[in-house]
């Protein structure tokens, strides 16, 4: 077992583990400050922040140290490597580096969006010195407000770590950004007329360790220390990027990708990053409504749920084979399970459907080459399947004996009269039903719509249940590769809307409160395909429903590309 | 038991006897006359001590903390850079700021990045602690000597940016509320060019100054 010594603390490595000093120190719980190094990008060792003393422990026990400090990011460790991160020599180097990085850095922390999560602030506080010896005026470069549609550059704040440049070259492959000029004139810039607008462009803002690259969407909206984050999963496509929802006072301000090697790696795409605006749409449904003889009336939850349960029970008694529940790939596993279980308990003859996930274009893999073709080994994939949980709902559906049917096919059955009562769940941010399609609901005796946004189906609904967006729910999403990840409720819903899990839970007449980990364990006991959920708490990274070998077949039920895509390679 | 409970050991306790009363003292007459003398002095004192408020305004101490004002810089713009330090520091959470990007094409705002779109202080929620004043990096928010703040509605007591700038215009010529600083923008670190370079130019010796305050010479000159 190779052993590395970090500040005299032995760290065991796996035999095939190839780490640099920063990663080895991370294993020991020791932080080596760094700016330019990033686990997903190539090593340039240009910021000099990670300077450490490195040595070699000989078999006879003597230690031979390298006589100077070396960049930790560029120095691989092997058995017997000794890393010292806190000697006076290293501390002097860190202070010197920070003083140098701060020479031309403006002191505009109060107006800088990065303040509070800024690498320069943190490391200056921990490793820097209290004063600058620069007596000359600072080198102030002109801001570049248009780097891309979503990106602005405060040139003078940049410390030239070139993470953004390497990202566009190595991960997106589009290479819009580069360093222009040399020496103290160095600046990040785009080629004239070629803005950084690729679908992964938003990541350069996250990568920027200082406040140089800022997101125009978030610019000056909030101070970061006011944001409260909850771990969640992006609902934009079936890649299921691990993210954090940052909100304050129930208003989402931004989504940030979390590092998750099992799901997507370190990044997320701009479609997901900026595609959450519908959460605060004015078309959100806020109150449960019921069609009464007097017209469509807002009703409270304690009134509508028993009425709905009775209506469903009657429909199941009258003609159980004409009662149908239509699931969507936008629901969580828990919601699908609770609803299916409830309807099947009313009558085993009741029918279950799921509308297929919307597919837009084709899977979009990065990095791109010069001609815009994806590289053979993609590092990031934006899936064409624009729904977060097709795989998870499908597994529930298979267990309860349902079928994947298009909405048109279900509605055709309604107009033929083979279905009389339909429970439609939606939650798609795009419209899921057209005016024309909605007209065929006129024939149904009982229409229940559980949705997030206003839709043409509502005038035909006997019961309208306001659900919530994914950011306001607890539950489980299963991505294209069969990775089950937990989503957490990050903010409260507007009006009297309830998280869909709670609606399904209370509709089923269960007592207690909806608690996703408990339901997960119940599901694991009942559905063999979801047995892996038995742990209840899925952790930050989630768990695969099947072991690695079986995963590909689980993902391949629809013409999906094999698993390797999203994760960091 | 009691000895164990008492926090003072018995060795530290000195027991004292009250002094014996003399003959005159035991008649209580000297005490009565001294009290009467005191009363008589006040009865015959015709100098008034009551301040005739509101005809007469009180002379408040210079560090009195009253209604806030938002200062203007020398170009007449609001000094505030919308950094929200004041609303972060505020223990009563009475400051609500919405920031916006300063218009780049307007020459008046060309040198500024960020400015407040709205700036509202709820004067009723405020506890007038002065933390906002302390936190402000550009000396924009200040507490004035205005203490007699009244209003007919709660809404009226929510001071917005315009109202707070009005307070500045009203108070800036009052010697009790002087414009204390002209620093309107965030200074670059080279503000310190007036100080001699501190510390050695190259080698960092043992006991580096980074962990200590700058040398006494610098403080004298600053």
Q: By CA distance, what is A226's nearest residue in B? A: B88
Q: Is the pLDDT of residue A253 over 50?
A: yes
What CATH number does the domain containing B131 carry? 3.30.70.3270
Mean pLDDT of A463-479: 94
> Who contacts A231 (Cβ-Cβ below 8 Å, separation ≥6)?
A242, A243, A244, A258, A486, A487, A488, A540
Contact yes or no for B99 and A221 at CB 8 A: yes
pLDDT in tens, A203-219: 999 999 999 999 999 99
B5 in a structural domain: no
**Band of pLDDT at residue B7, cut at 50, 70 and 90:** confident
Mean pLDDT of A478-495: 93
**Which residues of B does the annotation place in the binding site?**
80, 83, 86, 90, 126, 129, 132, 136
B216 in a structural domain: no
For position A117, what pLDDT does the model report? 93
Q: By CA distance, what is A89's nearest residue in B? A: B204
Smallest Cα distance from A267 to chain B, Å: 28
pTM score, whole prediction: 0.83
Contact A538, A476 (CB under 8 A): yes
Compute the distance between CA of residue A556 and CA of residue A360 in angstroms, rounded to an integer.
Answer: 18
B102 in a structural domain: yes
**Band of pLDDT at residue B216, cut at 50, 70 and 90:** low
Compute the distance between CA of residue A268 and CA of residue A442 in angstroms, rounded to an integer.
Answer: 42
Q: Is the pLDDT of residue B65 over 50?
A: yes
Contact yes or no for B99 and A220 at CB 8 A: yes
**Band of pLDDT at residue B195, cut at 50, 70 and 90:** very low
Q: Which fold has domain A135-279?
A: Alpha-Beta Plaits (3.30.70)
Q: Is the pLDDT of residue B60 over 80?
A: yes
Q: For A141-190, where are the E strands, in sequence order?
A: 151-153, 177-180, 187-190
**Band of pLDDT at residue A28, cut at 50, 70 and 90:** very high
Q: Is the pLDDT of residue A35 over 90?
A: yes
Compute the distance between CA of residue A297 and CA of residue A102 in angstroms, rounded to an integer.
Answer: 63
**Which residues of B does the annotation place in the binding site for [4Fe-4S] cluster?**
80, 83, 86, 90, 126, 129, 132, 136
Q: By CA distance, what is A126's nearest residue in B? A: B211
Write out chain A residues lying below 8 Å of B210, CB-based.
95, 128-131
What is the pairing mode between strands A421-425 and A446-451? parallel
Q: Is the pLDDT of residue A557 over 60?
A: no
Mean pLDDT (chain B, rounded): 82
Contact yes or no for B204 and A134 at CB 8 A: no
B42 in a structural domain: no
Mean pLDDT of A137-141: 84
Contact A421, A322 (CB under 8 A): yes
Write out chain A residues lying below 8 Å of B99, CB-based.
220-221
For position A526, what pLDDT does the model report? 93
**Domain assignment of residue B97, given as a range:** 68-171
For position A106, what pLDDT does the model report? 87
B96 in a structural domain: yes
Residue A394: φ, ψ to 5°: -60, -40
Q: Is the pLDDT of residue A559 over 50?
A: no
Contact yes or no for A92 and B204 at CB 8 A: yes
Compute the distance between CA of residue A501 and CA of residue A499 in angstroms, rounded to an integer.
Answer: 5
Contact yes or no for B82 and A111 at CB 8 A: yes
Domain count, chain B: 1
**Which structure tokens are listed for A344?**
């099947």
Compute the distance between CA of residue B222 and CA of residue B218 in angstroms, rounded to an integer.
Answer: 6
CA distances from A494 to A197, A244, A273, A427 (A): 33, 20, 21, 15
**Band of pLDDT at residue B206, cut at 50, 70 and 90:** low
> Who contacts B206 (Cβ-Cβ below 8 Å, separation ≥6)?
A88
Alpha helix stretches (DSSP H) within A144-292: 163-170, 203-207, 270-273
Q: Does domain A3-99 have CATH number 3.40.50.2300?
A: no
Query: What is the 3-class SS of A112-145, one letter each residue?
Result: CCCCCCCHHHHHHHHHCCCCCCCCCCCCCCCCEC
Contact A63, A53 (CB under 8 A): no
Compute the distance between CA of residue A190 and CA of residue A115 in angstroms, rounded to an integer.
Answer: 25
Instruction: Inform me whether the C-beta atom of residue B197 falls under 8 Å from chain A C-beta atoms.
Output: yes
On the 0-12 / 13-18 / 19+ scale of CB atoms within 10 A, B130 is middle
Q: Does domain A289-472+497-516 have CATH number 3.40.50.740?
A: yes
Place of tokens 């300077």: A51
Question: Of the given ranges (A99-103, A358-362, A517-521, B204-208), which has the lowest mean pLDDT?
Answer: B204-208
């Amino acid at each position: 077992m190779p052993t590395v010594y970090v500040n005299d603390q032995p760290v065991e490595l796996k035999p095939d583990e190839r780490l640099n000093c920063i990663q080895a120190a991370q294993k020991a719980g020791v932080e080596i400050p760094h700016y330019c190094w990033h686990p997903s990008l190539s090593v340039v060792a240009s910021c000099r922040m990670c300077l450490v003393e490195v040595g070699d422990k000989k078999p006879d026990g003597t230690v031979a140290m390298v006589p100077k400090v070396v960049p930790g990011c560029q120095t691989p460790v092997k058995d017997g490597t000794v890393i010292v991160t806190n000697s006076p020599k290293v501390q002097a180097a860190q202070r010197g580096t920070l003083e140098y990085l701060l020479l031309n850095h403006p002191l505009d922390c109060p107006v800088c969006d990065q303040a509070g999560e800024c690498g320069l602030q943190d490391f200056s506080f921990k490793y820097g010195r209290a004063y600058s010896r620069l007596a000359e005026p600072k080198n102030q470069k002109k801001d570049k407000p248009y780097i891309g549609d979503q990106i602005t550059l405060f040139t003078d704040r940049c410390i030239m770590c070139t993470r953004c440049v390497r990202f566009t070259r190595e991960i997106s492959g589009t290479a819009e950004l580069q360093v222009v000029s040399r020496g103290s004139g160095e600046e990040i810039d785009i080629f004239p007329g070629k803005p950084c607008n690729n679908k992964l462009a938003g990541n350069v803002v996250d990568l920027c360790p200082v406040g140089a690259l800022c997101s125009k969407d978030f610019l000056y909206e909030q101070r970061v220390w006011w944001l409260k984050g909850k771990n969640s999963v992006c609902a934009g496509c079936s890649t299921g990027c691990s993210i954090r929802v940052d909100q304050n006072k129930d208003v989402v301000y931004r989504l940030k990708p979390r590092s998750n090697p099992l799901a997507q790696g370190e990044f997320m795409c701009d479609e997901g990053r900026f595609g959450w605006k519908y959460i605060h749409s004015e078309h959100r449904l806020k109150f449960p409504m019921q069609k009464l003889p007097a017209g469509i009336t807002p009703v409270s939850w304690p009134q509508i749920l028993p009425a709905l349960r009775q209506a469903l029970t009657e429909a199941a008694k009258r003609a159980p084979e004409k009662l149908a529940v239509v699931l969507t790939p936008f629901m969580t596993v828990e919601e699908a399970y609770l609803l299916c279980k409830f309807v099947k308990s009313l009558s085993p003859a009741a029918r279950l459907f799921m509308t297929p996930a919307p597919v837009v274009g084709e899977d979009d893999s990065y990095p791109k080459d010069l001609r815009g073709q994806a590289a053979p080994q993609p590092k990031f994939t934006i899936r064409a399947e624009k729904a977060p949980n097709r795989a998870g709902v499908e597994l529930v559906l298979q267990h309860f004996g349902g079928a994947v049917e298009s909405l048109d096919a279900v509605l055709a059955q309604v107009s033929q009269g083979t279905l009389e009562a339909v429970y439609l769940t939606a939650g798609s941010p795009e419209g899921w039903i057209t005016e024309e399609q909605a007209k065929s609901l006129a024939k149904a005796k009982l229409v229940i719509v559980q949705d997030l946004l206003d839709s043409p189906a509502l005038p035909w609904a006997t019961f309208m249940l306001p659900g919530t967006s994914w950011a306001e729910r607890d539950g489980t999403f299963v991505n294209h590769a069969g990775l089950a990840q937990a989503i957490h409720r990050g903010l409260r819903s507007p009006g009297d809307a309830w998280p869909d899990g709670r609606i399904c839970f209370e509709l089923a007449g269960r007592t207690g409160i909806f608690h996703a980990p408990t339901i997960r364990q119940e599901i694991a006991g009942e559905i063999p395909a979801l047995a892996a959920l038995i742990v209840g708490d899925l952790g930050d990274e989630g768990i695969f429903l099947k072991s690695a070998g079986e995963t590909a077949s689980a993902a391949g039920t629809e013409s999906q590309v094999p698993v390797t895509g999203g994760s960091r390679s | 038991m009691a000895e164990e409970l008492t926090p003072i050991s018995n060795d530290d306790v000195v027991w004292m006897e009250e002094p014996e009363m003399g003959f005159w003292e035991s008649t209580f007459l000297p005490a009565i006359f001294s009290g009467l003398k005191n009363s008589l002095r006040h009865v015959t004192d015709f100098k008034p001590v009551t301040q005739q408020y509101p005809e007469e305004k009180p002379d408040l101490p210079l560090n009195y903390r009253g209604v806030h004002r938002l200062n203007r810089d020398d170009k007449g713009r609001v000094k505030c850079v919308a950094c929200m330090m004041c609303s972060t520091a505020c223990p009563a959470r009475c400051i609500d700021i919405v920031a916006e990007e300063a218009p780049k094409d307007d020459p008046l705002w060309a040198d500024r990045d960020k400015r407040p779109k709205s700036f509202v202080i709820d004067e009723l929620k405020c506890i007038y602690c002065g933390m906002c004043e302390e936190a402000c990096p550009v000396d924009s928010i200040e507490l004035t000597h205005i203490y007699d703040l009244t209003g007919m509605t709660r809404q009226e007591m929510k001071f917005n940016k315009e109202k707070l700038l009005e307070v500045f215009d009203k108070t800036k010529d009052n010697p009790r509320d002087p414009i204390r600083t002209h620093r309107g923008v965030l200074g670059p670190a080279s503000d310190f060019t007036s100080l001699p370079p501190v510390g050695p130019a190259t080698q960092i010796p043992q006991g580096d100054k980074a962990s200590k305050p700058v040398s006494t010479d610098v403080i004298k000159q600053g």
